[in-house]
Amino acid sequence: MKMPSLNTLFQSSASTLRRFPSVLLSAFVGTALWLWYSEVNYQEYEANRWLLKSTVLAFLGISLQFAIAIFAEGKGWSRVLKTVAAAMGFALLAVLYFAFDMREIDMVRFALYGLAFHLLASFSGFLKSEEKNGFWQFNKSLFLRSLASALYSGVLYAGLAIAIAAIENLFGIEFIGKIYLKLFIAIAGVFSTWFFLSGVPENLAELEHSHEYPKALKIFTQYVLLPLVTVYLVILYAYVLKIIIEQEWPQGWVATLVLAFSIAGILSLLLVWPIRNTEGNTWISTFSKWFYRALLPLSVLLGLAIWRRVSEYGITEERYFVIALAVWLLGITLYFIISKKQNIKVIPITLFLGAVAISFGPWGAFEVSKRSQIGRLENILVKNGVLKEGKIDSTATDISGKDAQQVRAVITYLATIHGTEIVYNWLKDKLDAEVLKSKLPTVTENLQKRAGRGWWLGLNQENEIYKVLKAESTVNTQDHYYPNDPISFQADLLSVNSSDYIPEQTVEGYTIVCTYLAYSFGHPTKSENISEYALNGAKITISQKEYVPELVIRYKGSEMIVDLRKTALFLKENRDFLPEDIQDGKNVIVVENNVFKVKVVLLNFEGICYPDKITVHRIAANIFIGRK
């Protein structure tokens, strides 16, 4: 094989630059910004948030500008019109820069735009309904070019990285910091993009008459993807039968499996679409017809699984996306069952429109999720008498058990995903001004210093909010949907003041106190947690076999067993357990024999209650020992 000359490579690169100048401009700018951002320390994140946002938008510009360039080529536009269209694309990115911040919610939003721009690139040059084959051939070329680009970029990076390592070790030359990261950024940002663009088909109109089909693609689809789809189908229908027989709700995890099955099946049918009517491949049309019909019952199963989670915990962005995918999947299924045209471009076009539609507005994923979680929070507070007539009652009794856990979860979600100011503004409407100022000083001070752009609520701020909302209960008892499932228990009592759980009188008659910690993680070489202490020259040994709900204490040849099962069952069965109950001795176990006595004060206790046994995963306790 003849090696390409430098002149040939230069001409090819120059031709690609003339064809896609705006795309390569985005790649160069994004790479430069990424290299700059790689030098930013974590402590400087807030001051350089604009840099991260600029980097993300520059790389979004690659797919957007590519879609615009392909659209312009398909329309046969002049260079002037192409330049104007590219400028409009950059203007759209500028609007996105000023419209959104870089909270976690905006990162998800930008991911949606990235998906939308990639989908737009797949069909922007083939908007005419009769260009089905050209559309498929174009996306086949993009897919294969992406694989080649990833392979070449990976090999180039590995080769240069090894060369750098060799120079460092052989010649003792020390390169600048993060050299390997910078090399990766340069190759991923510029080389891979340029290499990919150089292989994009130039004459889009001719693709409609092309009938090239890689044999390897057919083999992969026929012998890998389609068998996997069949396996998924069998598993899902067996699960549907199980639901009907046992009359139980579908598990939330089944939604992932249904979506995976649907995506794999649709992808398989797209990959073999050009040869569906060729001789010897009529089975493809038969498979396609029955595949979409098989999806209908599974769409119902998917809807039930989603409804179960939403009715219990409300809507979040993740659940909203699953709902949106379920609705889209049902629509696509009905289209391919009913429609006689069956235009495969419907798939990326509808996904593109959906990704854009759910990214903004009161109907979008973020606003709907926020309203759902705020509504869920208000319902819990109203139910527990904390929220009355739209105001928080500071005299209300504390919320306990699962409700307190849910309040804390919602506050953490709102602060993390939607920002500190969302929580603050909601509280501001529910509290009197003086109460707000006196009860939440850490929140108000943080917002004043950072102009309402808080990235998350600090631990102290969260604790202050929990106090205001009467949700300080520290017991987390996790429910499961099915009565036969194991139930976990967790009493996290470390945040309670020591005077609450170790009153002075409890140490009377005891001459030693130690803090004992034990973790159970199924370690293959460790079956017992053992700690040793000393009392008046004699050794005290405290041990716990992994997962066993017992402490074994040995002193002066005598052995004592402290049974923790009763406490575990108490935590499992009592949803209204509060820190105040600690003063009543609910976390204190006293055992004695004729040699010594023991008082165990549990600080943290975690495990799982199965129908036939109890396992303990973590113990933290203050242990008092006294001689008889």
Which of the two residues, 302 and 365, has the higher pLDDT score? 365
Mean pLDDT value across residues 327-346: 90
Closest C-alpha to 461, from 474, 448, 443, 446: 443
State the pLDDT at residue 367: 94
Q: What is the pLDDT of residue 372?
A: 94
Higher pLDDT, 209 or 584: 209
Span 226-253, mean pLDDT? 81
Is residue 178 pLDDT above 90, yes or no? no
Model confidence band, residue 498 (pLDDT cutoffs 50, 70, 90): very low
DSSP H stretches of helix in 344-470: 346-357, 365-383, 401-413, 420-430, 433-439, 441-450, 459-468
pTM of the full structure: 0.73
Q: How far apart are CA 191 and CA 279, in angstroms?
A: 42
Is the model's pLDDT at 66 over the cut of 90? Answer: yes
Range in 109-113, 172-176, 578-582 with the lowest mean pLDDT: 578-582
Give dist(CA 55, CA 164) in Å, integer: 27
Q: What pLDDT is attached to residue 517?
A: 80
The amino acid that residue 28 corresponds to is F
Q: Which of 329, 341, 323, 253 is nearest to 294 (CA)?
A: 329
How far apart CA 216 and CA 92 sit, in angstroms, is: 40
Over residues 604-616, mean pLDDT: 79
* Residue 355 pLDDT grade (very low, low, confident, very high; cuts 50, 70, 90): very high
If you average pLDDT over residues 30-51, what whole number do you get?
A: 84
Starting at the edge strand found earlier in the chain, the sheet holding 550-555 runs 528-535, 538-545, 550-555, 558-563
Helices and strands in the chain, H and E counts: 22, 11
**Cα end-to-end span (Å), the chain:** 93
Q: What is residue 305's predicted lDDT score, i.e. its pLDDT?
A: 83
Q: In the beta sheet, which residues pair with residue 625?
A: 512, 598
Specify the DSSP class assigned to residue 189. I
The number of beta carbons lying within 10 Å of the beta carbon of residue 586 is 19
Split at pLDDT 50, 70, 90, the class of 479 is: very low
Tokens at 495, concatenated: 């945040």
Which residues are within 8 A (CB) of 14 and not within 5 positions of it... i.e. 6 or more apart? none
Q: How far is CA 531 from the centre of its chain?
A: 39
d(CA 59, CA 113): 11
CA distance 112 to 214: 31
Beta-carbon contacts of 470 under 8 Å, excluding residues fewer than 6 positions away, are 384, 386, 396, 397, 398, 399, 404
User: Residue 510: what pLDDT?
Assistant: 80
Assess whether pLDDT exceeds 90 at residue 18: yes
pLDDT at 497: 36
> Residue 32: which of 176, 180, 186 has the closest Cα?
186
Average pLDDT, the chain: 82
pLDDT for residue 82:
94
Residue position matching structure tokens 């004992």:
516
3-state helix, strand, coil in the chain (%, to 5): 60, 15, 25
3-state SS assignment for residue 614 = strand
Listed in sequence order, the residues at least 6 apart from 549 whose beta carbon sits closer than 8 Å to its beta carbon are 563, 564, 565, 568, 607, 614, 615, 616
Q: Is the pLDDT reported for residue 259 higher than 70?
A: yes
pLDDT tens per residue across span 158-171: 999 999 989 888 88
**What distance in Å separates the CA atoms of residue 123 and residue 348, rounded to the nearest whole number?**
7
- What pLDDT does 512 receive? 72
User: 173 vs 330, which has greater pLDDT?
Assistant: 330
Find all residues with CB under 8 Å of 607, minimum gap 6, and list them: 488, 489, 547, 549, 568, 614, 615, 616, 617, 618
pLDDT in the model for residue 456? 39
Share of the chain above pLDDT 90, in %: 32
Nearest partner of 381 among 469, 461, 476, judged by Cα = 469
Higher pLDDT, 64 or 230: 64
Maximum average pLDDT range among 3-17, 40-54, 101-115, 137-151: 137-151
Share of the chain above pLDDT 70, in %: 84
Alpha helices in 272-316 (DSSP H): 282-313
In the numeric block, which tokens belong to residue 332?
């696509």
> Regarding predicted confidence, which is higher, 132 or 43?
132
How far is it, in rounded angstroms, from Cα 419 to Cα 66?
A: 33
Evaluate if residue 444 carries a pLDDT over 70. Answer: no
**Pick from 35-44, 399-408, 524-533: least confident:** 524-533
Closest among 529, 501, 493, 516 to 605, alpha carbons compared: 493
Task: Identify the band that residue 177 occupies on the pLDDT scale cut at 50, 70 and 90.
Answer: low
Please, which residues have CB within 8 angstroms of residue 445's CB and are 6 or more apart in sequence? none
Give strand pairing partners of 354: none
Separation between Cα atoms, residue 76 and residue 595, nearest integer Å: 97
Distance CA(368)–CA(425), nearest Å, equals 17
**∠ CA 467-473-475, rounded to 5°:** 155
Q: Is 613 a residue whose pLDDT tops 70?
A: yes
Check residues 511 and 57 and name the one with the higher pLDDT: 57
Q: Over 80: is that where the pLDDT of 400 sits?
A: no
